[in-house]
Amino acid sequence: MKHFKGVLSILLLITIFSFIACSDSPGSDLDNSSNSDNSSEAGNNDGNNTTSAYIGTKAPTEAKAVGDIVFKDGSAMPYTDFIALDETAKNPKRFSAIALIFYKGAGLNSGNDVTTSRTLGVGIKHNKNGLAWCTESADAYNINITSIQCPESTKLDFTGDKNGSNNLAQIEEFEGVDDTDSTNAATNYPAFYFGKNYKDVYGSNVKGTDFETGWYLPSIAELAQIFACRTDSVNGFDIDAVSLALGSDRFGTSKYWSSTQDNSGKKWACIFNFNYSDVEVAGKASTTNLYACCIRDFN
């Protein structure tokens, strides 16, 4: 009997040791579960949980093209890629968009510069409250500022001061003008200062970014190019359609101020009528149904 109990004790010990060995083996269920978790984490890092370093599909240093949407981090993406996204993916990009690229080339340079390529984007927010080019009390109101004239030689083809980026500075430099950077400058030149202070415009998305400055009221040639881009189905794109998709402002059939002095009289400046694709003129102090946009150079 004692011998039988001894055999049972030995068998019990063998069984216990065998169970422990199986539990600690590399092929146990515990290890399989651990390996499965690690494999899952590796898959998420490589796939589903991977996020781009930029808002757009183009890095900030990558050259932009006509039809690109520019975001506040300097990245961009073709509007066709944006349109193809579902609404969930579009929403965060809507709140980060700052401009639409409408032109790339050397044709909008002033003077004899026919080689410097410029990439121009229009800001997504417009002023539709009715702004004057300048007020009647502004120095430039009753002066024919010849240095910022940009006459139309043929339909939508311009000569003269086509690059409007320094037109406000040229006004200041013109004889008889000394108030474009004074305390009351924003009041005296409201359309110009819409661009100059664009960072403060609600929804512009540029405040606190590298794109706070550099915005300006376009020349009549630059403004006409926005229209040309909108109607060119081959080399351009429908800016208003993309603006609608972004939830931003559209040109529609409105009239917009340019920074160009008309050459027919002291008190007149050029506007562009997006309804009739025409260059028109308006009194510098006019405000009724006259809107403003601003543009900027990008890389």
The burial of 194, by beta-carbon neighbours within 10 Å (0-12 exposed, 13-18 middle, 19 or more buried), is given as: buried
Residue 154 scores a pLDDT above 70: yes
Query: Which of 6-10, 80-84, 123-127, 273-277 bottoms out in mean pLDDT, i.e. has the lowest?
Result: 6-10
Give CA–CA dist 185/241, Å, rounded. Answer: 35
DSSP state of 142: G
Name the percent of the chain lying above pLDDT 70.
83
Mean pLDDT, residues 247-274 taken together: 97
Give CA–CA dist 227/223, Å, rounded. Answer: 7
Beta-carbon contacts of 195 under 8 Å, excluding residues fewer than 6 positions away, are: 215, 216, 217, 292, 294, 295
pLDDT at 51: 64
Mean pLDDT, residues 197-214 taken together: 98
Biggest CA–CA distance in the chain, Å, is 129
120 phi/psi in degrees, rounded to 5: -110, 135
The burial of 43, by beta-carbon neighbours within 10 Å (0-12 exposed, 13-18 middle, 19 or more buried), is given as: exposed
Please tell me whether the overall predicted TM-score, pTM, comes out greater than 0.85 for this model.
Answer: no
Query: Which of 3-12, 88-97, 222-231 bottoms out in mean pLDDT, i.e. has the lowest?
Result: 3-12
3-state secondary structure of 286: coil
Neighbours of 233 (CB within 10 A): 8
pLDDT at 13: 42
Residue 96 scores a pLDDT above 70: yes
Q: Average model confidence (pLDDT) for the chain?
A: 87
Give CA–CA dist 102/226, Å, rounded. Answer: 6
